[in-house]
Amino acid sequence: MTRTALQDGSGATTRPVLQMRGIGKRYGHVVALDGVDLDVNAGEVVALVGDNGAGKSTLVKAIAGTHRIDEGTVLVDGQPAELGSPAAATRLGIETVYQDLALCDNLDVVANLYLGREVRRSRTPFLNREEMERDAAAVIADLAAHLPRLDAPVAALSGGQRQAVAVSRAALWGSRIVLLDEPTAALGVAQTAMVYRLVRSLRERGLGVVVISHNMADVFAVADRICVLRLGRNAGTFLTSETTPDQVVAAITGSAEVGPRKDS
């Protein structure tokens, strides 16, 4: 519960960027989250898995500040945090790639990276396009997100390239945590591989990454740790390297109590 680095089982140093405890969220009479815990370390990819309606998107929206939680505590970088609005989450360095990507089709790649956060020339209403282009090109090169042109309208890009724009925007603005809700759901094999690469680049930048996915191949390809939700509750946390897909599926469906289990 402190800012100090901890030792994990492998002896590597870990620094928690997000610690959620006892999170509860109701929609009217529907209990979407009930006493849920989630930990994410800097430079770690955590997959959030579970059946339809398990509460994954609700948990991600709680972190992103779009849905307020009813119960529980949240620490960001070891400090108590109120994630009461998207602006509050943004200020804490939390960025979200939603399933619909929230891109503006008629604008180009650079404009989409800066949507609502444009850089202006000092004391003028005019945009500093050169500075935005320079920083956009740097983040895209750093992520190795292969985009044909920065001045192409995003409507002209493929599904994978659009996903790359959304991930690049998160990398440009997110200083601590990036959340991705089913980033490969609509993608083919090659484009899925590119998204995996982008997610690994985020990890290498030292960000904590949370990826929602229904696809076990995705999960085992990118995640360091897997957090299973079932009916709004924790149903196991697994180190990917010590777990099989069957064990995770068993936890998702509740068909058996399985190990190894590693909480936190």
Q: What is the per-residue binding string for ligand ATP in 33-72, x denoting contact by CB under 6 A?
A: -----------------x-xxxxxxx--------------
Residue 52: name its binding partner from ligand ATP, Mg ion, none (Cβ under 5 to 8 Å by kind).
ligand ATP
Distance from C-alpha of 6 to C-alpha of 97, rounded to nearest angstrom: 29
The residue behind tokens 């229904």 is 214
Q: Are 56 and 50 in contact (CB under 8 A)?
A: yes
Shortest Cβ distance from residue 214 to Mg ion (Å)? 9
Which range, of 52-60, 131-139, 142-150, 248-256, touches Mg ion by CB under 5 A? 52-60
27-39 residues labelled b (16+ CB within 10 A) or e (exposed): eeeebbbbebbbb
Shortest Cβ distance from residue 56 to Mg ion (Å)? 5
Burial class (CB within 10 angstroms; exposed 0-12, middle 13-18, buried 19+) of 210: buried
Residue 112: name its binding partner from ligand ATP, Mg ion, none (Cβ under 5 to 8 Å by kind).
none
Among 17, 18, 23, 32, binds ligand ATP (CB under 6 A): 32
Among 57, 163, 192, 201, binds Mg ion (CB under 5 A): 57
Helix (H) or strand (E) holding 79: strand 79-80
Q: Which is nearer to Mg ion, 57 or 240 (CB)?
A: 57
Q: What is residue 154's DSSP assignment?
A: G
Distance from C-alpha of 53 to C-alpha of 4, rounded to nearest angstrom: 35
For ligand ATP, the binding residues in 140-199 under the rule CB under 6 A are none
Closest to 226 in 3D by CA, of 24, 18, 234, 31: 234
Nearest residue to Mg ion by CB is 57
**Which residues contact ligand ATP (rule: CB under 6 A)?**
27, 30, 32, 50, 52-58
**Which residues contact Mg ion (rule: CB under 5 A)?**
57
